[in-house]
Amino acid sequence: MLHDPLTGLPGHALLLDRLGQSLIRARTRGTLVTLVLVAVPGSLPEAARALRTGLRPDFTVARYHDAVLAVLAEHDFGDGSPIAALIRELVGESPRIHWVTSDGDTGPEDVIATAERR
């Protein structure tokens, strides 16, 4: 499914495609990609709306699965900690957040697996 009917966000398949494209850009341009998985304890549509309006427009906010949203961010330096902190602030209600930053040296499945383990 390309778009999730509950949240109106990109779905899992579109997230994987965008992640793959972001990793290619990171590898070829020397930038970084951060993937943040957010387990939302409250209303998923409200959290989706808060992230979509509170984050930069070039970040991808997607529904990863069930009550988990994903944020995909491309950036020039650093790691995902400032992005994760902003997400915590926007979602509130103490969401569980797992994140990973990559320089594009691995595939989308490995990035997601790493984020899930953290």
Asked if residue 43 is part of any domain, the answer here is: yes
The CATH number for 32's domain is 3.30.70.270
Asked if residue 98 is part of any domain, the answer here is: yes
Cα of first residue to Cα of last residue in the chain, in angstroms, is 26
In the chain, the number of structural domains is 1
Whole-number pLDDT of residue 34:
98
Asked if residue 46 is part of any domain, the answer here is: yes
Domain of residue 58, residue span: 12-117
Asked if residue 75 is part of any domain, the answer here is: yes
Whole-number pLDDT of residue 47:
96
* Predicted confidence (pLDDT) per residue in 5-39, tens digit: 999 999 999 999 999 999 999 999 999 999 999 99
The more confidently predicted of residues 4 and 93 is 4
Whole-number pLDDT of residue 1:
61
Asked if residue 3 is part of any domain, the answer here is: no
Polymer length of the chain: 118
* Predicted confidence (pLDDT) per residue in 59-97, tens digit: 999 999 999 999 999 999 999 999 999 999 999 878 899
- Beta-strand pair 32-39/68-75: antiparallel
